[in-house]
Amino acid sequence: MVAIRIVTVTLTVIMFAAIVVAMNTGDFGSEGSWILDNPWGRMSLIDIYVGIALFAGWVFLRERSPWVAVLWIPAFVVLGNAGTALYAAIAAFRTDDIRAFLLGARA
């Protein structure tokens, strides 16, 4: 679990740092339209939202209350993999057991 904690925290920090850099150096209002105009930009959006849907399925599986999972989904949609990494890091610190990490309340 130590390795999982290190990896998830590291990825969380990297993703949030990348968001801060992008917000400080870019202009999503004018540059964001490029994503929708470019086939690979659209593909990247499809890729991230399919990944978010899969990750949300894991969250629904492991959380005792479906409402907890529902509350995390906006964070995943807005923050992308910064949100998923944050969720995984929090889950990693809540247990010392890999099975409990993966299955949560269903372990």
Mind listing the pLDDT tens digit for each residue in 44-83?
999 999 999 999 999 999 999 999 999 999 999 999 999 9
DSSP 3-state percent helix, strand, coil across the chain (nearest 5): 90, 0, 10
Name the packing angle between helices 81-93 and 39-62 (round to 10°). 20
Token match 């969380």: residue?
12
pLDDT at 85 over 90: yes
**Overall size of the chain counted in residues:** 107
pLDDT band at 36 (very low <50, low <70, confident <90, very high): confident
Give the pLDDT mean for 7-24: 95
